Amino acid sequence: MKTHFLKLTFLFVSCGLIFSEAKSQTKQDEKITATIQVLKEFGKMKESIPSDLLKVTEGIIIVPKLINAGFVVGGKHGRGIAMAKLPDGTWSNPVFVSITGGSLGLQAGVQSVDLVLIFKHSSTLQKIGNGSFTLGGDISATAGPVGRNSTASTDYKMQAEVYSYSRSKGLFAGISLQGAGIGVDNKTNDEFYGKPTTSKDLFSNGTEHNIADVKAMKAELNSLYK
């Protein structure tokens, strides 16, 4: 009887772990699917990221549905995916990241924002592996110029290290990222890759987890960059 009970307990625990892993994997797949959709939407926009800027950048972070909420004191929270451009021009493995932060000002409302951050240098993006960094503090950031045919003479001569773009759906006219912190979501990365990982290793390799959805995401990103 006792042996039978132990077997049942082991079975339930095993099923629970499998369900937990499957649920976690589903959330990661959903984030990749959402990221693909954001890239598609940005590709459709007439006043989107200038092609000249895309040609010279080496990293990107996409945060679908960043929540920006506030009444006098604002707050931000979202999870997204980062990728660095490799020396051969291809894209690295996806790295799951989180963005959090707050701001002060006269604001009210709740807003869901699709956010894209363009990095001038991959080394800047890789700094998040050393702990979270703050936009506007540790890293200079500014709202990016728009217009596919804009030239690099606009602002990116290039004083800022990060250029931000957003599609807003809500009560705000725009979004301020000053003071927002970005960090690597180590737990999600370990679950997605099925083993302990580091952002340094992921950013330097493009074939660690080349499943269909990841390939589709990279293809959509290449399409945007063209």
Number of Cβ within a 10 Å radius of residue 189: 22
Q: How far is CA 21 from CA 106, 130, 170, 180, 194, in A?
A: 42, 27, 34, 30, 10
- Residue 14 within any structural domain of the chain: no
Confidence band (pLDDT; 50, 70, 90) for 126?
confident
For 162, half-sphere exposure in the C-beta direction (CA atoms, 13 angstrom radius) is 28
- Residue 7 within any structural domain of the chain: no
- What confidence score (pLDDT) does residue 187 get? 92
Confidence band (pLDDT; 50, 70, 90) for 214?
very high
Counted domains in the chain: 1
- What confidence score (pLDDT) does residue 157 get? 54
Domain that holds residue 204: 24-225
pTM, two decimal places: 0.78
Q: Which helix (H) or strand (E) holds 41?
A: helix 2-44
pLDDT tens digits, 127-156? 887 766 777 666 667 776 666 555 444 444
- Residue 203 within any structural domain of the chain: yes
- Residue 18 within any structural domain of the chain: no
Q: What percent of the chain has pLDDT over 90?
A: 26
CA 61/CA 79 separation, integer angstroms: 10
